[in-house]
Structure 1
Amino acid sequence: MIALRLRQLSLLLLSFLICGAAFFQLFARTTGTIPTDYAVMLGLVVALSLIYWTLVLHFLPYASQVIQPCVLLLTGLGTVMIARIDYAHNTEVAIRQLTFICIAIVLCSILVVAMHDYRILRRFSYVSMVVGLALLLSPMLPVIGQNINGARIWIRIPGLGSLQPGEFAKLFLAFFFAAYLFDHRDQLAVGGRKVLGLQLPRIRDLGPIIIVWIASMGVLVLQHDLGTSLMFFAMFVSMLYVATGRASWIVIGGIAFAVGAVAASSIFSHVGARIEAWLHPFSDTLYNRAVGGSYQIVTGLFGLASGGLFGTGLGQGHPYLTPFANSDYIYASLGEEFGLVGCFGILLLYIIIIASGFITAMKVKDGFGKLLSAGLVFTMAFQVFTVVGGITLVIPLTGLTLPYMAAGGSSMVANYLLATLLIIISNAANKPAPETLSETFQHEALAALRDRELKEREAEQASRSARRARGGAQS
């Protein structure tokens, strides 16, 4: 057990070492020395991370130990690049990012101590639905709601600045979806007619997916946020597939959102502009367009291309030339200075987290935990795909941020809580099942039977020896 804990601790220390070396190299090439405020904040992050790891060992001894090191490494590399862009723009976004990282770790530590059994979330399914919808629609309020870059997805809190409540709404809606689908999975799994090899659901069972589709389209219409509406609808459809095992739900969900997206691109100019910029990024007209143009896309692609295989080197590229280089386009910034190898390494870290989450979903015996872990990890995987796919022109830009790496306190705190929930569920999935009372009695009965048979054999051998001894004396 001690050797296992040492191996687990070595993963954490390795992530600290890599991030520390990156910060040292950055400041050696820019300011020449590590600023005091960065040294203090980095030391605080390390201390809080070790406390969090200790709490996980104490309260969740069977939890997965690969998620936290990967999350910390992604966070550290993202913060390094934010600090790199701060140096070029003379801003202090990285210090604010480190502050939110500390807040996230503290909240996650409280969650580890307070929530020993994740199944308690099932009791508050409809409360989670109300809270999730309230958070999702709160930017529409006239006083606190904010419209930034054409999307109304922000609220302003005095003293804290802007907050994106949709990042927290995805957690509460995941709780509700998991509880609802767990309770109704038998009805939803019943098939209707078979068309082209697919067992279609019954008409009366289409209600939930229609309601979620309408809600997703409502977010797109009211808040002009394509990414959030796509993420919530995809999360529900994926959890619906896990609950029922029917591929027809995936097909119906894909067709429904495709119809909605095509209609939205024709009705709403901002959606159509993103699709047009995706299809014709190198058009002179689109490149020079002030609003909805392709300047950001093309600049990000040039940055990735200039990075080559191994990158320009930390602090030696020009990632700050791309708009929103520390948030929406941080993957392109990292690709320029870390190269293709660095990009693949980042994706590998995400794959490890995602694989750990899906393994947890397969191993956990509780149906609610299976749906919840699958939904949470799919949300993360889908978010990574949409961000990286948008930057590399695989799909249109959606406006989502890269988990753990992009600048933004809301995204950082929400995704840290998501990772902690996966860790809590993994503890239940990996925990050895206790023996039942009947199994205990069976083991005791078998042990008693073996002891009796052994004594009988010993007695028989003793009697044989005695008979041989008597026969030898008579002869």
Structure 2
Amino acid sequence: MTTLDPSPARRRRRTSPRRTTELGLLVLGALITVGAYVLASLGKTATIPPHTFAFLAVVVGLGLAAHMATRVFAPDADPILLPLVALLNGLGYVFIARLNYKLASLQSVWTALGVGAYIGTLALVRRSRDLERYRYLLAVAGLGLMLAPLAPVVGRTINGARLWVRMAGVSFQPVELAKIALAIFFASYFVEKRNVLSEPTLRVGNRLLPDPRPMGPVLLAWGLSMVVMTAERDIGFSLLFFVMFIAMLWVSTGRVAYLMVGAVLFLLGAFLAVHLFGHVHERITIWLNPWPYRDRSGYQIVQAQYALGSGGLAGSGLGLGRPQVIPVVASDFIFAAIGEELGLLGTSAIIFSFMLFVGAGLRTALRARSEFAGLLAAGVTAVIGFQAFFIMAGVVRLLPLTGVTLPFVAYGGSSLIANYILLALLQRISAESSRQRVTIPSR
């Protein structure tokens, strides 16, 4: 049997319903965003913003730019991924503008750059398998980006964590870009070594046992995570990096043993971190019982609990709450601000949006045409899904605070640009996996 791709004209006709669905969802998301923007202004100042139509034009313009790029470069891509991201990004901007207009101005610039990065990635990465060629280059780049904040001249410490690099008057977190490079490297490496990592090849007497040497990468990832956490005083990204590694390793091999080893190493690392590093011990302490420290180190988390509790089922209303009393609310605790003003219904909508995103990402991974594409899609989905889970769970005290931002929602230029690039990679794989083939009997 011989398989051929349909002609471009037939493919465009077939995929137009998907893009039409995407466009409709984008318009709906834009209307929700603008409606929320107006309501937030009415709640805060009792006036309609004078530039509402200009805001609508910008929201629709950015959405249309991303949509047209998807229509041109990835016409078979999933129709709900981009609208979900646009809605999360839009609602996040509304809350940032309601909390700090200066940060909102910066976030609008970062959003435009993020959409530009999305379009550029779709245009440059025409086939996902081309990324495999650069795996070792990306591995070196990823490690370099992770360690860049330790550089003596450009590295910066902000809020106790040395995660920032400042160049030409602009501060950014290179570790956000590192997660892209390392996800691609892990996907390529695990595909190449899958048989070695998953098959028992070591003979001991009359029995075949798994070769312990493939555990080396797991131990290396654990060790690097500990080094990063120690040197940069960071919990969130070291944990995210380690979880992404273990998740991709498990998906590629199907061996539960790697999950068990990863869990043991995680517990060991957590035990060592709590007893060796004061900042980790402090976070665990205020996670377990923040109330004795409500005027000091626990002030932030205590105010977040008050905000969530006062929100109730439907919230106080947009612009009518007091989430601004939470320190660094626009970046670290925007989920608490949403909970106060939109209540349980609003936070549930955010959680449900991320669940839909993860479901669409995993569906893309399952339908991928190649092992590399499938594993990369799983890795991208895991990065965004776990990052969202870590910060939301930290805000509600299900987990200790990790310091990562809520993807697409919270303020943060580095995170926004990196996540839009991850979205573009997921769209590229989705377009490849959704493209049907015509089967022609061979003679």
Q: Does structure 1 residue 422 correspond to structure 2 residue 426?
A: yes
SS at match of 1:25: helix
SS in 2 for 1:217: helix
Other-structure match for 1:296:
300
Contact 2:42/2:319 (8 A) holds in 1: no
Structure 1 CA distance, aligned partners of 2:330 and 2:70? 31
- The offset of 1:40, in angstroms, is 4.2
Q: Quick check: 1:45–1:101 contact (8 Å CA) kept in 2?
A: no
Structure 1 segment 27-42 matched on structure 2, within 5 A: 27-31=41-45, 32-36=47-51, 40=54
Residues 349, 191 of structure 1: alpha-carbon distance in 2 compared, 3 angstrom cutoff: same
Check whether the contact 1:404–1:412 (CA below 8 A) recurs between aligned residues.
Answer: yes
DSSP 3-state at the match of 1:152: strand
For residue 66 of structure 1, what is the aligned residue in structure 2?
Answer: 80
Q: Which among 17, 27, 48 is matched to residue 62 of structure 2?
A: 48
SS across alignment from 2:442: helix
Shift of 1:35: 4.7
Q: Does structure 1 retain, via aligned residues, the 8 Å contact 2:78–2:427? A: yes
Unaligned runs of 5+ in 1: 194-198, 443-475
Instruction: Single out whichever of 136-145 and 108-117 deviates more from structure 2.
Output: 108-117
Return the alpha-carbon distance in structure 2 between the equivalents of residues 344 and 33 of structure 1: 27
CA change 1:101–1:20 in 2 (3 A) is: same
Cross-structure match for 2:9: none
Task: Give 1:405's match in structure 2, choosing from 406, 409, 427.
Answer: 409
Q: Say yes or no: does 1:98 pair with 2:108.
A: yes
* Structure 1 range deviating more: 7-16 or 132-141: 7-16
In 1, are the aligned partners of 2:122 and 2:424 still within 8 Å (CA)? yes
Q: State the Cα distance separating 1:51 from its structure 2 match.
A: 2.0
1:26-71 CA-to-partner distances (Å, cap 9, x unmatched) read: 22333423254x7646523421320221121122121101001000
Distance 2:377 2:62 in 1: 25
1:287 to 251, 270, 294: 294
| Residue 255 (str. 1) matches residue 264 (str. 2) | yes
Q: Which residue of 1 aligns with 2:205?
A: none
Q: Which amino acid aligns with 1:10?
A: G
- Which of the numbers 221, 233, 239 marks the counterpart of 1:230? 239
Aligned residue type for 1:243: S
Instruction: Choose which of 214, 223, 228 in structure 2 pairs with 1:214.
Output: 223
Residue by residue over 1:396-415, the C-alpha shift from the partner in whole angstroms, topping out at 9 and shown as x without a partner, is 11111100011110011111
User: Aligned in 2, Cα 1:145/1:41: closer, same or farther, shift over 3 Å?
Assistant: farther
Of 267, 280, 286, the match for 1:271: 280
Deviation string for 1:117-151 (max 9, x for gaps)?
01111000000001111111000001110011111
Distance 1:310 1:167, change over 3 A: same
Instruction: Please report how far the alpha carbon of residue 294 of structure 1 lies from its aligned counterpart in structure 2 after TM superposition.
Output: 1.2
Q: What amino acid sits opposite 1:209 in the alignment?
A: V
Contact kept, 8 Å, 2:156 with 2:164, in 1: the verdict is yes
Q: Say which SS state the counterpart of residue 401 (structure 1) adopts.
A: coil
TM-score scaled to structure 1, two decimals? 0.86
Q: Label 1:76 to 1:342 Cα distance change in 2 as closer, same or farther (>3 A).
A: same
Is it true that 1:142 corresponds to 2:159 in the alignment?
no
Q: What is the aligned counterpart of 2:386 among 382, 386, 404? A: 382
Alpha-carbon distance between aligned partners in 2 of 1:61 and 1:3, rounded to the nearest angstrom: 10
Question: Equivalent residue of 1:76, what SS?
Answer: helix
Aligned partner of 2:364 in structure 1 is 360
Instruction: Give the deviation of 1:305 after TM superposition.
Output: 0.5
1:155 lines up with 2:165 in the alignment: yes
Q: Secondary structure in 2 aligned to 1:92?
A: helix
- Identity score, percent: 38
In structure 2, the CA distance between the partners of 1:92 and 1:359, relative to structure 1 (3 Å rule), is same
Partner of 1:108: 118
Aligned residue in 2 for 1:448: none
Instruction: From the superposition, tell whether residues 100 and 200 of structure 1 become closer, same or farther in structure 2 (CA, over 3 Å).
Output: farther
Mapped partners of 1:179, 1:157: distance in 2: 32
- 1:182 maps to 191
**In structure 2, which of residues 332, 340, 346 is the aligned counterpart of residue 342 of structure 1?**
346
Tell me by how many angstroms 1:365 deviates.
Answer: 2.6
Tell me how far 1:112 sits from its aligned partner.
1.4
Residue 288 of structure 1 and its aligned partner are, at CA, apart by 2.6
Residues 48, 106 of structure 1: 8 Å contact kept: no
- What CA RMSD, in Å, does the superposition of the two structures yield over aligned residues? 1.7
1:460 is matched with none
SS at match of 1:204: coil
Helix, strand or coil: the match of 2:162?
strand
Q: Provide the C-alpha distance between the structure 1 equivalents of 2:438 and 2:134, rounded to a whole number of angstroms.
A: 28
Listed one character per residue, the Cα deviations across residues 437-467 of structure 1 (whole Å, up to 9, x for unaligned) are xx4336xxxxxxxxxxxxxxxxxxxxxxxxx
C-alpha separation in 2, matches of 1:340 and 1:201: 47
Tell me, what secondary structure is at the counterpart of 2:409?
A: coil
The CA distance in 1 between the partners of 2:328 and 2:348, in whole Å, is: 22
TM-score (norm 2): 0.92
Residue of structure 1 equivalent to 2:10:
none
SS in 1 for 2:157: strand
Cα shift at 1:167:
0.7
Residues 50-97 of structure 1, C-alpha deviations (whole Å, 9 max, x = no match): 0221121122121101001000100111111111112xxxx5101110
**Structure 2 residue ranges without an equivalent (≥5):** 1-13, 203-207
By how many angstroms is 1:381 displaced? Answer: 1.0
| Match status 1:372 vs 2:376 | yes
Which of 317, 328, 337 aligns to 1:333? It is 337
Deviations, residues 233-282 of structure 1 (Å, cap 9, x unaligned):
10000000011000110010111021011101101100000001111112
Please identify, of 322-331 and 53-62, the stretch whose mean Cα deviation from structure 2 is larger.
53-62
Note the C-alpha offset of 1:3: 5.1
Q: Larger relative contact order (C-alpha < 8 A, sep ≥ 6)?
A: 2
For residue 357 of structure 1, report the CA deviation from its aligned partner.
0.4
Q: How far is 1:434 from its partner?
A: 4.0
- Residues 402, 243 of structure 1: alpha-carbon distance in 2 compared, 3 angstrom cutoff: same
Work out the CA distance in 2 between the residues paired with 1:4 and 1:370. 21
Query: When the two structures are aligned, how many residues end up with a matched partner?
Result: 423
